[in-house]
Amino acid sequence: MKELTVVLTIHKDDTIYIETVVQWVVKNGYDMKLSPTVGLAKARRECIDQAGTEYTLVLDFDTRLPDGYVENAIKLLKRYLEVGAVALDYEVPHTQGHLAFGTSIWRTDLLKKIYDWDEASGKCECLWMWERLQRTKFLLSTLPMQAVHLKGKVGQNSQSPCNR
């Protein structure tokens, strides 16, 4: 049985990466939901609602995860039942100083229950969601590795609220 759904936000200029992710998803026997470009919060909400696996990876299209992250995050979630989500910050120079929602792996049931980011609030999705998580009995965890963020190289995400 599949245990992970990858919720990937897509961007029309990044089809090669999307193909790479799709191949990786198929190879590992994960499930996948591609979010339509109808506004990030709405797109994420729709894909999260469709996830039918125990764990869900929320992946931004301009993020590259380090090798072993997904496998080790799932191991951690299986072993420590008090952990609700695992996430990484980005490597320098794109470090945010906080863990990124766009790298996060969740217990799907929990994410479905609490995902309610208000894009219009101007608050970054990460801190919004870590605050939401804090109001549950679950903890946020991380691993000793960083993701790569291609901020400013692709897409229009250079004015992220994460760095205001």
Rounded to 5°, the CA angle 116-117-121 comes to: 135
Nearest distance in Å: CB 81, Zn ion: 26
> Cβ closer to Zn ion: 25 or 102?
102
Q: Write the DSSP symbol of residue 151.
A: B
Nearest distance in Å: CB 123, Zn ion: 9
> Cβ closer to Zn ion: 59 or 162?
162
> Cβ closer to Zn ion: 21 or 162?
162
Nearest distance in Å: CB 20, Zn ion: 24
Nearest distance in Å: CB 102, Zn ion: 8
Identity at 50, one-letter amino acid code: Q
Q: Are 55 and 3 in contact (CB under 8 A)?
A: yes
3, 14, 27, 121, 129 from 77: Cα distances, Å? 12, 30, 21, 30, 18
> Cβ closer to Zn ion: 83 or 162?
162
Adjacent-strand bridge partners of 57: 6, 105
Where along the sequence are the contacts to Zn ion (CB under 5 A)? 124, 126, 162
